[in-house]
Structure 1
Amino acid sequence: MLQDTALQSKPLAPYVPVSVSARHVHLQQEHVDILFGKGYQLTKDRDISQPGQYACQETVTLMGPGGKISNVRALGPLRKQTQVEVARSDARVLGISPPVRHSGDLKGSAPIVIIGPKGTVRLKEGCIIADRHIHMTPQDAQAYGVYNSQKVSVLVEGEKGGIMNQVTIRVRDDYALDMHIDTDDANAFGLTGNEYVKIIL
């Protein structure tokens, strides 16, 4: 866990800021209509780390053969295909076995039931555990000496520090520099989402 205040105010290679992503859903309009009512529009609550992405006020319940999890946040904007992202510990509660995948790679992923105030959506596939990944622009990638889809390791400093392997670099012009991990990884390494971690190649 980096303590240097200069780095905390402005990221400097090889350090990157980290954000913790809790369980959430991305919805397509057809499923918004089922869950919340025909023609319903999700209500923006607050911006999140990537430009144009935001948390919504609306929540849903996830159900699997082993149990359910309530108050799961919807994120905007709408997607072409509904996607549910959970941590491994969530999957155990639900009694499902989602694969570790990139966002949007849903073919053959786990089935899940989504329950809203107006209706229920039963997905044959769509639930994943998101891979550890770092968003960056092409300029960032050049500065950090990495490339799109590269797998790197990341050093976490601090009392529960260690090394995270299999971290995917994602490069796009409209990305903001940020590493995304789920709550299981955050808890394992003692991270809260206000730290910097170090890319080690």
Structure 2
Amino acid sequence: MDRRQVEQEIYRSIERVLHEMGIDVIADDASIPVSVSARHVHLSPDDVNALFGDGYSLTYFRDISQPGQYACQEKVTLKGPKGKIENVRILGPARGQTQVEVSKTDARTLGVDPPVRRSGVLKDSEAITIEAANGRVIHLNEGLIIADRHIHMTPEDARRFAVKDGEKVAVAISGEKPGVLGQVTIRVKETYKLDMHIDTDDGNAFLIQGAGKGKIVKESW
């Protein structure tokens, strides 16, 4: 069998197991692209100025999966009570509140305990210190999270997959080490591009390097 036939057989096997558990796969032949999102930082305009100087503009490096979003040339160091992580990429453009996204493994290195949150939900999240290469430092009393698993999609995609914004689904992952990821949040917006984002811990668990494929299943647990 070729690779496509192997993936189809994996999906069928997963679907059979899920059906026995009372979970039905959404009737749609299209797969969902899955991207592994490494640790990164979103800075507010005030914090851009605080770290790099008044009037500083972040430097474009390359586009990322969502339209209008991009990786910047600038990198920073994250510092926690027990350790630090260097060369953490800043993503642009600047947004309303500074947000830092790490994996659970990263959190252990830093010695912190961030909650799993949807992007932008930062109230009572974890504290973190950010240091630029020039030695400037800012300390956030809140803003560090482990990002929830989520799928960006347009309203048309949502209709096609029969899901709605904020809904929780599971996603069957194909590949060398297939399985199912639960509690995946659907995010719907006209400007989004279809893509599922997971962190490096999830990517490692399913042997996904950079990108993979998944299929939405309705979640009943």
Equivalences, count: 195
Q: Does 1:100 align with 2:116?
A: yes
CA deviation vs aligned residue, 1:147-170 (integer Å, no higher than 9, x gap): 111100011122211110000000
Q: Which residue of 2 aligns with 1:25?
A: 41
Q: Which residue of 2 aligns with 1:86?
A: 102
TM-score (norm 2): 0.85
Equivalent AA in structure 1 for residue 98 of structure 2 = T
Equivalent AA in structure 1 for residue 97 of structure 2 = Q
Structure 1 unaligned runs (5+)?
none
The list of structure 1 runs, each at least 4 consecutive aligned residues, that deviate by more than 6 angstroms after superposition, is none
TM-score (norm 1): 0.93
Equivalent AA in structure 2 for residue 157 of structure 1 = S
Equivalent AA in structure 1 for residue 206 of structure 2 = F
* Contact in 2 for aligned 1:36/1:118 (Cα 8 Å): no
Q: 1:15 aligns with which of 28, 31, 36?
A: 31
Give how far 1:193 is off. 3.0
Distance change (3 Å), C-alpha of 1:140 and 1:179 = same
Q: 2:162 aligns with which of 118, 123, 145?
A: 145
Structure 2 CA distance for aligned equivalents of residues 149 and 25 of structure 1: 23
Give how far 1:4 is off. 3.2
* Contact in 2 for aligned 1:14/1:200 (Cα 8 Å): no
**SS at 2:172 equivalent:** strand
Give how far 1:83 is off. 0.3
Give how far 1:146 is off. 0.8
**SS at 2:211 equivalent:** coil
CA deviation vs aligned residue, 1:164-186 (integer Å, no higher than 9, x gap): 00000000100000000000000
Structure 2 CA distance for aligned equivalents of residues 13 and 75 of structure 1: 33
Q: Which residue of 2 aligns with 1:4?
A: 4
Whichever of the two has the greater Rg, that structure is 2
Distance change (3 Å), C-alpha of 1:104 and 1:3 = farther
Q: Which residue of 1 aligns with 2:149?
A: 132
Q: Does 1:112 align with 2:133?
A: no
Q: 2:75 aligns with which of 36, 53, 59?
A: 59
Q: Aligned-residue CA RMSD in angstroms?
A: 1.7
**SS at 2:47 equivalent:** helix
Q: Which residue of 2 aligns with 1:159?
A: 176
Overall identity of the aligned pairs, in %: 59
Distance change (3 Å), C-alpha of 1:99 and 1:84 = same
